[in-house]
Chain A
Amino acid sequence: MSPDDSQITDEDFVRLLTSYHRRMLHYVCALVTNRAHAEDVLQEVSIALWEKRHQYDPDRNFFVWMRGFARNKVLDYYRQQSRAPAQLSEETVHRIIERVDAQQHAVEDQLVALRGCLQDLPEQQRLLLAKFYEPLSNVELIAEDLNIKSSTVYVRVHRIRKSLLKCVHRNMNRMGVFV
């Protein structure tokens, strides 16, 4: 096998990046909870991946390779944030990353469990959640639509997320997921 055979074409690399985009977004969002910031971090990750694309060995798992870049960019993000005193320390972020990494193999099962739980939600709650998670959603506008206070929107979403979390874990246990 010649050295060139071990590399993928730029076209294939773009295809890989595109097909893993949502999975990468999920990973970064699990570490950076603000969606806009997470998308910025993901953009940084994509640029870094593109710059290092020739180092990618197609025999390796692309997602595992990508996670290494994402971890570094997430740590960079928190280092920058620490100058504005409103975020987590590097030590804590390392603890979170370790835990998130340990669960990556089960993300698909979690999504299956979540799918079932969302179906069981009352329609009103599902619609509120959909509005809340819409890209560029505005809580003030949601509150205005529902004729409630913004703080009430957050309280309701908190309750829904708590019940979804319980439901997902219950379903995961029922599914007998291996860890």
Chain B
Amino acid sequence: MEPVDIKATLSSPAINFDTDNNTLHIRGESYPENSFDFYEPIISWLKTSLQELSEITLDIAITYMNSSSTKCTLDIMDVLEDAHERGVKTCIIWRYDRENPRSYEMAEDFREEVTFSFEIAVLDT
């Protein structure tokens, strides 16, 4: 499995995969110039990696995402949903910003989009 370690910028989140815990961490804000270009390699990586993994956790702490990043995030969750249907143990931990009511709303909206375990937690800042 290829390692993943993308550093955060002002407009794009840090993304890395913790191989010890099979956890993909996405953390930061997301409004890159082209969200599709930014997320496409991660989605491809995820599809390939999920062929060999038996479990995966997505630990996501994005306090703000623009509309096209929302679409890309849903695409990532769809890849996990497919894996879940094939028997991969999948789980999402969504960390929201307590200071921002929209951040919790967003977590709830995304939770409705998947059928597997989706935990909403408070983001420690």
Do A and B pair up? The answer is no
Q: Which residues of B pack against A, CB within 8 Å?
A: none
